Homo-oligomer: A and B are copies of this chain.
Amino acid sequence: MSERVLVKQLQAREDGPVSVSGWVETVRDQKKVQFVILRDETGAVQLVNPATRPDPEATDQDAAALALTALISALSTGTFLTVTGELKHDERVKLGGVEIKLASLDIAAAALPETPIAADSGLDKRMDWRFLDLRQRRNNLIFRVQTTLEHAMRTYWIERDYIEVHSPKLMASASESNAELFSLDYFGEQTAYLAQSPQFFKQMAQSAGFGKIFEIGDVYRADPSFTSRHATEFTSIDAEISWIESHEDVATMQEELLQFAIQAVKDKHGAEIEELFGLEIAVPRIPFPRIPLAEAREIVKARGYDIPRTDGDLDPEGERQISAHVLETYGHEFVFITDYHPEIRAFYHMRDPETGLTKSYDLLYKGVEITTGAQREHRVDVLEVQAREKGLDPAHLAFYFDFFRYGAPPHGGFGMGLARLLMLLLGESSIREVTFLFRGPTRLAP
């Protein structure tokens, strides 16, 4: 068997014998000549075969040629196969300027003739058949972009001596509130909960003297949310660092990280993203704009939108409005909203003794919140008071408070959903489009 050549390598290769493997995208079975478009993970190429049709009047037809023609006529879309043939450069061939004249065709696994989805199938139907949906070039690109994005972030951190951790997702206690938790029987002895975030454990790493850590791992939310921005299970990107002076140190790291990672995506996939998603990746300049929440609300109001929420926070339309303002005023797609009131923040956010506001931020990207970041309260006495204020049961949090009883550095960090970032980066309308296999309240398969 000759060695497999990737489709993307064909253009640079000299004419001659070649073997490629992939799946059938289309078949044009004309009377005199047959064309197959074969796609692999790197591109698509045209295969051509002069048809040899059974002729009752001919006496010396080539049996192999007849068989090959019949095999191609019977090919169904999606069939995976290996072909050998003669590579020929021909500038008239639109698809890459090359074609392969078929010599042999070896089917690895034939597809059923009826494909259950089409290019214009609805999202839910496509998710039912996600493995077919993912064969589209555009969807394949999403996950190559994700790979580059993640690897760039990890590289940024590792070059700066961060430690990568994998915190357990099975927990004995609820991490923040019981409302959104999946629970399960743990060896008939205990109830275990699925982690909503690695929050407590990434803070534990600070008490453990790890200094700077990151984690990219799955988390679980049992709230029945059906928006285009929420998932029941998603990959969370988390970082936590010691010896900060305020949340500003976290924000500075995060904006550098995002600039670095988006630059890497643009460098590697910019042209292809422009072709398939019709958008140019904008690498954000740093620093990102920062706007205190109260000021952001004033700006949104001045733009004619009265936020109906009474708790002082922004709502989704308010987030879109302030982002529009930032884009118009500063030409920037990101904005940090700062100075949130403790009432609308988690109990462990540190408070500024002068203003009484939390040392925290939300990061908005193209009008959508992608991150909450904060300095954490590391003084256990203050932390306990703040937990009680929120009505949390100190008994459930005892293990967490312990992390701060034996010394702890000032620290802070952020959490960010991978799919949400990717959705916005590629201008997609739903995280379902950018998740390998989405999980939602009514979606647990395949």
Contacts and interface: CB of A to CB of B under 8 A. Distances in A.
A41 B134 contact: no
B212 A165 contact: no
A40 B108 contact: no
B378 A218 contact: no
Contact of A22 (B162, B204, B209, B233): B209
Nearest to A446: B399
Interface residues of A, number: 103
A419 to B, nearest CB: 9
Nearest to A441: B187
B210 A143 contact: yes
Contact of A143 (B163, B187, B218): B163
Given A21-B243, A163-B144, A187-B224, A409 B439 contact: no
Given A154-B151, A170-B220, A41 B210 contact: yes
Contacts of A172: 444-446
Nearest to A210: B41
A262 interface: no
Contact of A39 (B146, B209, B418): B209
Interface in A1-58: 1, 4, 21-24, 39-42
Interface of A: 1, 4, 21-24, 39-42, 76, 78-80, 82, 108-112, 115-116, 130-132, 134-135, 140, 143-144, 146-148, 150-151, 154-155, 158, 161-173, 182-187, 189-190, 192, 194, 201, 204-205, 207-212, 217-218, 220, 222, 224, 232-233, 235, 242-243, 245, 378-380, 399, 402-410, 418, 436-437, 439, 441-442, 444-446
Given A39-B209, A147-B158, A201-B437, 14 more contacts: A21-B242, A41-B209, A41-B212, A42-B211, A79-B407, A109-B378, A116-B406, A131-B403, A146-B164, A147-B163, A167-B436, A168-B218, A183-B185, A189-B442
